[in-house]
Amino acid sequence: MTIQTTQAPETGVAIANSLTAGRLPKSAPWTILVAAIAVSAAVFAVVSFGSGSGYNWGGALFVGALLYIPAIWLFSTLVEGRRRAMDRLVTALVTGAFLLAMIPLVSLGITVVTLGAARFDADFFSMSMRNVTGEGGGIVHAIVGTLLMTGAAAVISIPIGLMTSIYLVEYGRGRLARGVTFLVDVMTGIPSIVAGLFAYSLFAIFLGPGTRTGIAGAVALSLLMIPVVVRSSEEMLRLVPNELREAAFALGVPKWLTIVKVVLPTSIAGITTGVMLSIARVIGETAPLLIAAGFTASVNYNLFDGRMQSLPVFVYTQYANQGNPPQAYLDRAWAAALTLILIVMALNLIARLVARFFAPKFGR
Amino acid sequence: ASNEGGAAPSESASTLSGNLVGAGASSQDAAQQSWIAGFQTANPDVTVDYDPSGSGAGRETFLEGASNFAGSDRAFKDEELAAGGFKKCAADSTIVELPLYISPIAVIFNVEGVDSLDLDAATVAGIFAGTITNWNDPAIAATNPDATLPDLAITPVHRSDDSGTTENFTEYLGAAAADVWTWEADGVWPLEGGEAAQGTSGLVDAVSNGNGTIGYADASRAGDLGTVSIKVGDEFVPYSPEAAAAIVDHSPFAEGRAEGDLAIDIDRTSEEAGVYPIVLVSYLIACGQYEDPANVDLVKGYLSYIASPEGQDTAAADAGSAPISDSLREKITAAIDSIK
Amino acid sequence: MSKRIEVRDLNVYYSKFLAVEGVNLAIEPRSVTAFIGPSGCGKSTFLRTLNRMHEVIPGARVEGEVLIDGNNLYDPDVDPVLVRRQVGMVFQRPNPFPTMSIKENVLAGVKLNNKRISKSDAEELVEKSLRGANLWNEVKDRLDRPGSGLSGGQQQRLCIARAIAVSPEVILMDEPCSALDPISTLAIEDLIEDLKQQYTIVIVTHNMQQASRVSDKTAFFNIAGTGKPGNLIEYDDTTTIFSNPSVQATEDYVSGRFG
Amino acid sequence: MSKRIEVRDLNVYYSKFLAVEGVNLAIEPRSVTAFIGPSGCGKSTFLRTLNRMHEVIPGARVEGEVLIDGNNLYDPDVDPVLVRRQVGMVFQRPNPFPTMSIKENVLAGVKLNNKRISKSDAEELVEKSLRGANLWNEVKDRLDRPGSGLSGGQQQRLCIARAIAVSPEVILMDEPCSALDPISTLAIEDLIEDLKQQYTIVIVTHNMQQASRVSDKTAFFNIAGTGKPGNLIEYDDTTTIFSNPSVQATEDYVSGRFG
Amino acid sequence: MTSAPAPIKAKLRIGDLVFSRSAVFAGSMILVTLAAVAVFLIVQSIPAVVATTEDASILKTNFWDYVGPLVFGTVWAAALALLVALPISIGIALFISHYAPRRLASVLGYVVDLLAAVPSVVFGLWGIGVFAPALVDAYAWLNEYLGWIPLFSGTPSATGRTILTAALVLAVMVLPIMTAICREVFLQTPVLHEEAALALGATRWEMIRTAVLPFGRSGIISASVLGLGRALGETMAVAMVLSASPVITFQLLTSVNPNTIAANIALSFPEAYGLNVNVLIATGLILFVVTFAVNAFARWIVSRRKEFSGAN
Ligand SMILES: Nc1ncnc2c1ncn2[C@@H]1O[C@H](COP(=O)(O)OP(=O)(O)OP(=O)(O)O)[C@@H](O)[C@H]1O
Ligand SMILES: Nc1ncnc2c1ncn2[C@@H]1O[C@H](COP(=O)(O)OP(=O)(O)OP(=O)(O)O)[C@@H](O)[C@H]1O
Ligand SMILES: [Mg+2]
Ligand SMILES: [Mg+2]
């Protein structure tokens, strides 16, 4: 049998197995990576020797990894051809993108954990800042405030957001839908501080000037939260194949039940992710809460009366208005930041478990 | 929370109870927190909240009648007083402005091997105006013969936010070095460009993280950074609470104010020995007469506590402020007593 | 339990495109009617108008009347949901619910409508429906596994089981056997034979043999050319259509049959 | 241009589930081989192993060897991309790219290999491929419309056009005609006849008549019961399988044929 | 045929009615809320727009001169942030959906989501304390060797707190939300289409290009819009990290950087009084308008090829 050359130029090379023609060996990427890092390390060594400064390990690794990308592309182009090379290049880039994003994450993580650990003690989670100056004190009041206000914001935003996205995907046609879509987009652009001002002014109308309450803070947060919920849920609902809706309709299922029992469960994972993102988005807001919910050192369980402290405001004020000794304030700030992150992580984890429970039962 | 609740079987015979709300200058925040702690401990049934939302916001809030008292890095201006409209106060009431928080502003810098410098107002102004750009500039060397000044670019750092600290600092520069510093006193840094940082903390961070940086900040936050002794008369005065209190004592009260309105015109050019001219005076502002008498006792109680030696000392300990002098305290106490 | 369907002057549009034009047709209760015709001539489109499923497609609309036992489906106050509960449908492409197990899929018509059903009734219904769709033996051990893990043919039979589980009065089937092997096809055809005792059945098929085997009447649709609307060319007893059609086009089409 | 395929002791697993067991088979170049068997017996699964498409399914893996012209497809350093470029595939469910126009769909594979195809070449290729798939007349006026706006059968023919446009050496077809009307089916069968002059073709079908019409050899797969793996029962010349099979099960299956 | 002849004529379905009404209601709520916000902004802004330096001490000349550099800074910082974040987040999303081993993928997704858990104040603290100082050397290097490019010219900042740093911090902040949406959309790509591409002999990248990316296009745009919205409106982190002045400059590495609207409000609001407050709120209105324009543009892109959208 004659091996004929096909129009694909890479295939015709006469090697034992024509299907392996012109492939880099499996180990090639690693070899190239190691080589790239070695080259970079050597260059850094020369530079550091020349300038007398300390050896920069991070820089050497980073530049080495950077070097790998063109290197693998070059080798692959030479040996495997353009298409394979492109594939390898994209693989390297995509992996690189992920690793790149890990840099700030790891850096942030290390910073927050090491600096936050100093005050991660029992007092911190059993005390408020009432009558505390200098060292000591805790963040019970801020945790309570954050949970209550974020919770209230979620209670307001998730139904509205979800129903709006359902409206947009399932019901909306014509002008109103287009208007809503557009306005939701515009809503994403409300600066958080303006949301705070608006909520503050709104409640000033009803409750008298100058009232700062948890609920005003929650309303400000909802303003920021709703567009994120709508946008992400809308995207997820649109991905539900029409076939499934048709299947349900054909069984004589009313539209609303189809949405509740078929469309929502199918997209639940994505929606949960979106909702979690929206919560994460607002739970860390400082500016609007400073304006709408005020500042207090005491615990307040009542959303509708009195000022409420929140973790981000606490972090911010501890950092911005340091007293004596400053370190005590900084320690509290970082420990509160760590707490906030842990709270969001925990919420995220719970949401994922919930989502997994309802998620479509197919692969991936 | 374990520290909450006034039910502690305290021996205090306090009869005060209720909720007191203030808002204003964030410069006072640390001091306010320690005053609040002290006052609440003595009066377990009282809750005082202070929003460190900023002087402007504090004054607006007070105007709207949304707070019982305000903290502000400057007194109300004459025209603002004339416009009136303080919602919490009785119709024809004046307001009480008390200079209860006095804090020196330190000029801080970060230059390796230099802990302190002696500078005159013109040099400081030159540095911040960008006419003196290197640490080995002869103008600096002239007053610091012993310091080893590096050949290093000066990076002056100013506040990016609108702040009382900036206003006081630029007021000092304008008064004491009028030839070099031709801008008006303003809470917003008047020059374009330059390194800017948000808040005292941001500025301190920027100065400590940079190299060859210089800035100005509440003295309590100077930490390990190098600080400047300012030339007053013929000597160089380092910042200190006493020196800061002294300049206030040597300054006149603003004219044409109502009784109890103790706004001070700080004499930045004073040549008096032992005064430190770069200070921030922050006021506590209350009504001369409240529309609703319910809050009067609370306000008076709280302000009296702040003005007391005990109150001034806790603030000095917790916030690094300068305790007011006894002579000033007398006038303030009289003003507090006049509140109805 | 079965219904008579009468179609009068029906036009179906996709937005501005006229897909099916001027259909007049009467389908007798307790009979099987087959729709045949070349691809793209509008069989599916027309079928969907019989239970208003076309309304799901944006822009699709209808002119004319469809009477089910004399009630016009397109009367303004008719509830499409109730129509669909009486007129069930099986699609060309199998579409089991991915979030549901095999069992839940079969019970979907019941469960999704929030009807309560006792556990034993449910199990009975599941078995009956799956047996009816000739799927019971293959899946009885994995009723709680996801429906999307089945082979194409298995999925289609699952959809048939799901449709018959709600016992509609008319069943529309859009090429239900195109993904099935001969044995399953035979089983479905037997099932159609059974169902016909009680229900009215309409089936779209490309398989002439199937049409001639299962149907009582056959409707032949054709299309004059691209962009032209589909038309009902001839509608008659199946034997007539396959042995002695009155229109030449029908004869051409059915005689091109093979196998 | 065509290739000989030899399969040795092939087992296919979905994670732990053994779906197809111990297949041995040799497919001659320039021939048409048909796979028949009941639904769920693993025809599609096995077919996908011939161009390593099973690897796309998470958990699916293979034991054994598939030799194409003597080269083992499963050698560790074989590039599945090269394999698939030589072994094209048409799926059971039509899957045109919804984001592309009809024309772009046809050219999708070609564009990958050869970015700079001249406009006239491209148009020629589009026409040739669409004609080959018997779709040209229906779509020639709307080549720039989205491929997803076609009827099921039209979509399937579009996918066939897309597959033949890259002129692979082996073409695997998984029930390519199940969604087609008889005319299109006939056209595809004619196409297969044509392609056979140059290519090796493997086709899965449920249509016995189709198998007997188009294929040179036929492989019958069966499954002993649920959860059991599918097996290759008999593999022989098509005429032998349909007239005189050596295994009883084969006879049972093909004689259950109808129409 | 014994059953009632016309059960087909139906009551209006309560469930449907309630559900669709509440959906419409929710949609209208957004209209109402936004109208309220707009009214609030406009009413508060009117006195500011016509104000001069006499009325509002914050203004040097008039409102438009004040807001100009801020608009520039806002758009510039957000654009830079998006420029960095978009390719990276698409990359990460692809990595998680199509490259990483399946077991690892969900864990990795979670790890990236963690970034969303970081409050903006903490980004600010980290930006000042860790990130900006770490960039000083890199900026000096860029300035020395690439200073001939106008973007990198000027005197590099001694503290690293430049607009580029702020944009990078913003990029990190918008990454999780963009990544999450892209990832979910990519994961939903129909397997049929991926298989279609692979069967044509596409490499993984080509499969992604032909099947995944076109399918996810509207999702990618949604993600960008959300990311951009966040970047345009982010307040605290920018306020804390950026060394800002009222200037317009394209230089990325100097101490002199344009400010953003949101950060400027945060910086000036605490000390604002009288008409200055209105001026600041008016800048908020301008930000609103900017976002409006950006989104209109994005929507227009999506709608251009609507019929080719994958999902329906
Ligand atoms: N959603 C749609 N939007 C616009 N046109 C459509 C749509 N669905 C189908 N069409 C067009 O309507 C005509 C009829 O399509 P239909 O699906 O009813 O054909 P069919 O007879 O069922 O074909 P097949 O046998 O291939 O399933 C075709 O020209 C098709 O392109
Ligand atoms: N993705 C999958 N994961 C797990 N099991 C699968 C998967 N796909 C198919 N199977 C199982 O493997 C077996 C063979 O399926 P396959 O799709 O190959 O059957 P088939 O012969 O092509 O059937 P049909 O004629 O209905 O298409 C079946 O039992 C099926 O349930
Ligand atoms: Mg059809
Ligand atoms: Mg199959």
CB-closest option in A130, A204, A295 to B3: A130
Which chains are within 8 Å of C by 3+ CB pairs? A, D, E
Determine whether the interchain pair A7/D113 forms a contact, defined as Cβ–Cβ distance below 8 Å.
yes
What is residue B89's predicted lDDT score, i.e. its pLDDT?
87
Residues B24-40 have a mean pLDDT of 89
Average pLDDT, chain E: 82
Q: What is the DSSP letter of E58?
A: T
Residue nearest to atom 4 of ligand 1 (CA): C14
What is residue E211's predicted lDDT score, i.e. its pLDDT?
85
End-to-end Cα spacing for chain E: 39
Q: Using an 8 Å Cβ cutoff, are A242 and A299 in contact?
A: no
Predicted confidence (pLDDT) per residue in B189-240, tens digit: 888 878 888 888 889 988 988 888 999 998 888 888 889 999 888 888 998 8
Strand, coil or helix: C32: strand
Predicted confidence (pLDDT) per residue in A168-222, tens digit: 888 877 778 888 887 887 787 788 888 888 898 888 888 777 778 899 999 999 9
The answer as to whether C102 is a domain residue is: no
Residues A315-328 have a mean pLDDT of 84
Pull the structure tokens for residue C134. Answer: 């000739």
Q: Is the minimum CB–CB distance between A211 and chain B shorter than 8 Å?
A: yes
Q: Say how far apart CA C230 and CA C232 lie, in whole Å.
A: 7
ipTM value, please give it: 0.81
Name the band, by pLDDT with cuts 50, 70 and 90, for residue D114: low
What is residue B2's predicted lDDT score, i.e. its pLDDT?
64
What is residue C39's predicted lDDT score, i.e. its pLDDT?
78
Q: Is the minimum CB–CB distance between B110 and chain E shorter than 8 Å?
A: no
Lowest mean pLDDT among A219-233, C174-188, E155-169: C174-188
Q: Say how far apart CA E59 and CA E43 lie, in whole Å.
A: 19
Q: Say how far apart CA D159 and CA D165 lie, in whole Å.
A: 10
Q: Is the minimum CB–CB distance between B193 and chain E shorter than 8 Å?
A: yes
Residues E99-115 have a mean pLDDT of 81
Determine whether the interchain pair E195/D149 forms a contact, defined as Cβ–Cβ distance below 8 Å.
no
Predicted confidence (pLDDT) per residue in A16-39, tens digit: 566 666 677 777 888 888 888 888
Contacts (Cβ under 8 Å, ≥6 apart) of D58: A363, A364, E102
Ligand nearest to the CA of D154: 1
Q: Say how far apart CA A162 and CA A168 lie, in whole Å.
A: 10
CB-closest option in A171, A198, A227 to E20: A171
Predicted confidence (pLDDT) per residue in D54-82, tens digit: 887 878 889 998 888 888 888 877 888 88
What is residue D93's predicted lDDT score, i.e. its pLDDT?
75
Name the band, by pLDDT with cuts 50, 70 and 90, for residue E312: very low
Q: Using an 8 Å Cβ cutoff, are A296 and B21 in contact?
A: no
Predicted confidence (pLDDT) per residue in C81-100, tens digit: 888 888 888 887 788 888 88
Chain A residues near residue E24 by CB distance under 8 angstroms:
167, 171, 176
Name the band, by pLDDT with cuts 50, 70 and 90, for residue C26: very high
Give the nearest chain A residue to D75 (CA atoms). Answer: A20
Residues D38-47 have a mean pLDDT of 86
Please choose, from the candidates A282, A152, A292, the residue with its C-alpha nearest in 3D space to the C-alpha of residue A216: A292
Chains A and B form CB pairs within 8 A to the count of: 115
Ligand nearest to the CA of C15: 1
What is residue A219's predicted lDDT score, i.e. its pLDDT?
92
Residues A49-57 have a mean pLDDT of 70
Name the band, by pLDDT with cuts 50, 70 and 90, for residue A15: very low
What is residue B185's predicted lDDT score, i.e. its pLDDT?
86
φ, ψ of residue E23 in degrees (nearest 5): -65, -45
Chain E residues near residue C77 by CB distance under 8 angstroms:
9-10
- Inform me whether the pLDDT recorded for A105 exceeds 90: no
Determine whether the interchain pair E30/A160 forms a contact, defined as Cβ–Cβ distance below 8 Å.
yes
Task: Give C122 to chain D, closest Cα distance, Å.
Answer: 23
Q: Is the minimum CB–CB distance between E181 and chain A shorter than 8 Å?
A: yes
Determine whether the interchain pair C175/D179 forms a contact, defined as Cβ–Cβ distance below 8 Å.
yes
Please choose, from the candidates D189, D249, D240, D223, the residue with its C-alpha nearest in 3D space to the C-alpha of residue D46: D223
Highest mean pLDDT among B278-292, C90-104, D109-123: B278-292
Contacts (Cβ under 8 Å, ≥6 apart) of A44: A55, A56, A59, A60, A63
Peptide bond connecting D146 to the previous residue in cis, omega within 30 degrees of 0: no
- Inform me whether the pLDDT recorded for E212 exceeds 50: yes
- Inform me whether the pLDDT recorded for D141 exceeds 70: yes
pTM reported for the whole predicted model: 0.83
Of chain A, the percentage scoring pLDDT greater than 70 comes to 91
> C151 C-alpha to center of ligand 2: Å?
4
Burial class (CB within 10 angstroms; exposed 0-12, middle 13-18, buried 19+) of B179:
exposed
Q: What Rg, from alpha-carbon coordinates, does chain B have?
A: 21
What is residue D2's predicted lDDT score, i.e. its pLDDT?
66
Kind and range of the H or E run holding A191: none
Chain B residues near residue A204 by CB distance under 8 angstroms:
66
Determine how many CB atoms are found less than 10 A away from the CB of residue A31. 12
Of chain C, the percentage scoring pLDDT greater than 70 comes to 97
Pull the structure tokens for residue A318. Answer: 């501890």
- Say which CATH number the domain at E22 has: 1.10.3720.10
Q: What is the DSSP letter of A54?
A: P
Please choose, from the candidates E186, E220, E193, E190, the residue with its C-alpha nearest in 3D space to the C-alpha of residue E207: E193
* Residue C54 lies in domain: 5-95+170-255
Q: Within 13 A of A136's CA, how many CA atoms are on the CB side? A: 12
> What number does the ligand 2 atom closest to the CA of C155 have?
26
Bridge partner list, B47:
B19
Q: What Rg, from alpha-carbon coordinates, does chain C have?
A: 18
Q: Using an 8 Å Cβ cutoff, are D95 and D152 in contact?
A: no
Interfacial D residues in 123-182 facing A (CB < 8 Å): 167, 169
CA angle, residues A9, A13, A17, in degrees to nearest 5: 120
What is residue D259's predicted lDDT score, i.e. its pLDDT?
30
Residues C103-122 have a mean pLDDT of 85
Q: Using an 8 Å Cβ cutoff, are C214 and C84 in contact?
A: no
Contacts (Cβ under 8 Å, ≥6 apart) of D73: A19, D50, D51, D52, D65, D66, D67, D83
Kind and range of the H or E run holding B80: helix B78-83
> What number does the ligand 1 atom closest to the CA of C14 have?
4
> What number does the ligand 2 atom closest to the CA of D43 have?
21
The answer as to whether D236 is a domain residue is: yes
Lowest mean pLDDT among A276-290, B256-270, C179-193: C179-193
The answer as to whether D67 is a domain residue is: yes
What is residue B302's predicted lDDT score, i.e. its pLDDT?
92
- Inform me whether the pLDDT recorded for E69 exceeds 50: yes
Predicted confidence (pLDDT) per residue in B320-331, tens digit: 888 998 888 999
Task: Give E188 to chain D, closest Cα distance, Å.
Answer: 14
Q: Does domain A125-357 have CATH number 1.10.3720.10?
A: yes
- Inform me whether the pLDDT recorded for D34 exceeds 90: yes
The answer as to whether D143 is a domain residue is: no
> A262 C-alpha to center of ligand 1: Å?
26
- Inform me whether the pLDDT recorded for C8 exceeds 80: yes
Cα A27 from chain centroid?
35
Interfacial E residues in 2-61 facing C (CB < 8 Å): 3, 5-13, 16
Pull the structure tokens for residue C163. Answer: 């449709």
Q: Is the minimum CB–CB distance between C95 and chain D shorter than 8 Å?
A: no
Q: Using an 8 Å Cβ cutoff, are E163 and E76 in contact?
A: yes
Domain ranges of chain A: 2-9+18-118, 125-357
CA distance to D89, E263, E296, E306, per residue, from A186 (Å): 46, 19, 9, 21
Helix axes B55-64, E275-304, angle to 10 degrees: 110
The answer as to whether D250 is a domain residue is: yes
Q: Using an 8 Å Cβ cutoff, are B216 and B108 in contact?
A: yes
Burial class (CB within 10 angstroms; exposed 0-12, middle 13-18, buried 19+) of D76:
exposed
- Inform me whether the pLDDT recorded for E282 exceeds 60: yes
In total, how many domains does chain C have? 1
Chain A residues near residue B103 by CB distance under 8 angstroms:
none
- Inform me whether the pLDDT recorded for E310 exceeds 60: no
To test the pocket of ligand 1, the residue of C16, C21, C45, C204 to mutate (highest count of ligand atoms within 8 Å of its CB) is C45
- Say which CATH number the domain at D222 has: 3.40.50.300
What is residue E3's predicted lDDT score, i.e. its pLDDT?
38
In terms of C-beta distances under 8 Å and separation of at least 24 residues, what long-range contacts does E134-143 make, across chains too? Answer: E134/E160, E135/E160, E135/E164, E135/E165, E135/E168, E136/E160, E139/E164, E139/E253, E142/E253, E143/E253
Q: Using an 8 Å Cβ cutoff, are A168 and E24 in contact?
A: no
- Inform me whether the pLDDT recorded for B118 exceeds 80: yes
Q: Is the minimum CB–CB distance between E240 and chain B shorter than 8 Å?
A: yes
Burial class (CB within 10 angstroms; exposed 0-12, middle 13-18, buried 19+) of B272:
middle
> A327 C-alpha to center of ligand 3: Å?
74
- Inform me whether the pLDDT recorded for C27 exceeds 80: yes
Predicted confidence (pLDDT) per residue in B64-115, tens digit: 888 899 999 989 888 888 888 888 888 888 899 999 999 999 999 999 888 8
Best of E121, E220, E302 to disrupt the A interface by mutation (most A CBs within 10 Å)? E121
Residues B140-155 have a mean pLDDT of 88
Predicted confidence (pLDDT) per residue in C123-161, tens digit: 999 999 898 787 888 888 888 888 777 876 788 888 888
The answer as to whether E294 is a domain residue is: yes
Q: What is the DSSP letter of C33?
A: E
Please choose, from the candidates A201, A219, A217, A215, the residue with its C-alpha nearest in 3D space to the C-alpha of residue A313: A217
Q: Using an 8 Å Cβ cutoff, are E270 and B162 in contact?
A: yes
Task: Give A180 to chain E, closest Cα distance, Å.
Answer: 6
Burial class (CB within 10 angstroms; exposed 0-12, middle 13-18, buried 19+) of B63:
buried
Strand, coil or helix: C59: coil
CB-closest option in A241, A250, A253 to C51: A250
**CB of residue D152 inside a 6 A radius of ligand 1:** yes
Give the nearest chain A residue to D57 (CA atoms). Answer: A363
The answer as to whether D153 is a domain residue is: no
> E-assigned strands of chain B?
18-24, 46-51, 69-72, 95-110, 116-119, 155-159, 195-197, 213-218, 226-232, 235-237, 279-287
Residues C191-199 have a mean pLDDT of 83
> What number does the ligand 2 atom closest to the CA of D38 have?
25
Task: Give E3 to chain D, closest Cα distance, Å.
Answer: 37
Residues E104-115 have a mean pLDDT of 80
> A264 C-alpha to center of ligand 1: Å?
29
**CB of residue D153 inside a 6 A radius of ligand 1:** yes
> What number does the ligand 1 atom closest to the CA of C45 have?
18
The answer as to whether E232 is a domain residue is: yes
- Inform me whether the pLDDT recorded for E272 exceeds 90: no
Of chain E, the percentage scoring pLDDT greater than 90 comes to 8
Name the band, by pLDDT with cuts 50, 70 and 90, for residue E231: confident
Residues B122-131 have a mean pLDDT of 92
Per DSSP bridges, beta strands C230-237 and C217-223 are antiparallel
Lowest mean pLDDT among A45-49, B84-88, C38-42: A45-49
**CB of residue D44 inside a 6 A radius of ligand 2:** yes
Comparison of pLDDT for A343 and E218, the residue scoring more: A343
What is residue D179's predicted lDDT score, i.e. its pLDDT?
67
Task: Give D178 to chain C, closest Cα distance, Å.
Answer: 5
Determine whether the interchain pair C82/E16 forms a contact, defined as Cβ–Cβ distance below 8 Å.
no
DSSP letter for each residue of chain D: ----EEEEEEEEEETTEEEEEEEEEEE-TT-EEEEE--TTSSHHHHHHHTTTGGGGSTTEEEEEEEEETTEETT-TT--HHHHHHHEEEE-SS----TTSBHHHHHHHHHHHH-S---HHHHHHHHHHHHHHTT-HHHHTT-TTSBGGGS-HHHHHHHHHHHHHHT--SEEEEESTTTT--HHHHHHHHHHHHHHTTTSEEEEE-S-HHHHHHH-SEEEEEEESSTTSPEEEEEEEEHHHHHHS-SSHHHHHHHHT---
* Residue E280 lies in domain: 17-308
What is residue E171's predicted lDDT score, i.e. its pLDDT?
92
- Inform me whether the pLDDT recorded for E42 exceeds 80: yes
> C206 C-alpha to center of ligand 3: Å?
9
> E-assigned strands of A2-104?
none
In total, how many domains does chain E have? 1
Q: Using an 8 Å Cβ cutoff, are E176 and E112 in contact?
A: yes
> C42 C-alpha to center of ligand 1: Å?
6
Residues E99-108 have a mean pLDDT of 82
- Inform me whether the pLDDT recorded for E56 exceeds 80: no
Name the band, by pLDDT with cuts 50, 70 and 90, for residue A3: very low
Please choose, from the candidates E163, E170, E160, the residue with its C-alpha nearest in 3D space to the C-alpha of residue E139: E160
Name the band, by pLDDT with cuts 50, 70 and 90, for residue E257: confident
Determine whether the interchain pair E5/C83 forms a contact, defined as Cβ–Cβ distance below 8 Å.
no
Q: Say how far apart CA B26 and CA B163 lie, in whole Å.
A: 9
Residues A129-140 have a mean pLDDT of 81
